[in-house]
Amino acid sequence: MARIIVVNDKMQRGYSYELAAPAGCNFAPDFEPELTPAEMLQFGVFCGKYLTDCRAEFPASWFANARLTTVRRDCSLNYFGVDASQPCRSGGKKAGSTPTIPAAGSSVTVDTI
């Protein structure tokens, strides 16, 4: 049974789409993410401002342990304590570290300036 999702957030008003597949199913065969959305939120992606204005659109379980802020971005919420929203001009400047996120067991290279 398909479900219609209506989106009213800071980016879109009155947009709707049909949720036609069960959560976590029917991805492209080569799509192999290292983290689930819930894990990304738990690690404070984008300084705790990721998906903060559209929670009703996504499963509540994603937000159970999320590190979110209600006001402005707070980079202390990011697992690595860095600003992940660097401008494009900072590309290519590497800090040289490859920390591991323990809960997910995946390696992530962190670019800092």
Give the separation between CA 69 and CA 50, rounded to whole angstroms.
Answer: 9
| Tens of pLDDT, residues 48-69 | 988 888 888 888 999 999 999 9
Domain for residue 7, yes or no?
A: no
Domain for residue 109, yes or no?
A: yes
pTM of the predicted model as reported, rounded to 2 decimal places:
0.65
Domain for residue 13, yes or no?
A: no
Domain for residue 18, yes or no?
A: no
Contact criterion met (CB below 8 Å) for 30 and 21:
no
Please state the domain count of the chain: 1
Domain for residue 3, yes or no?
A: no
Hey, what are 17's tokens? 């789409």
Instruction: Give the Å distances, CA to CA, from 87 to 25, 48, 50, 90, 113.
Output: 33, 18, 17, 6, 11
Q: Which residues span the domain enclosing 38? A: 32-113
Domain for residue 17, yes or no?
A: no
Task: Indicate if the pLDDT at residue 4 is higher than 70.
Answer: yes
Domain for residue 24, yes or no?
A: no
Domain for residue 9, yes or no?
A: no
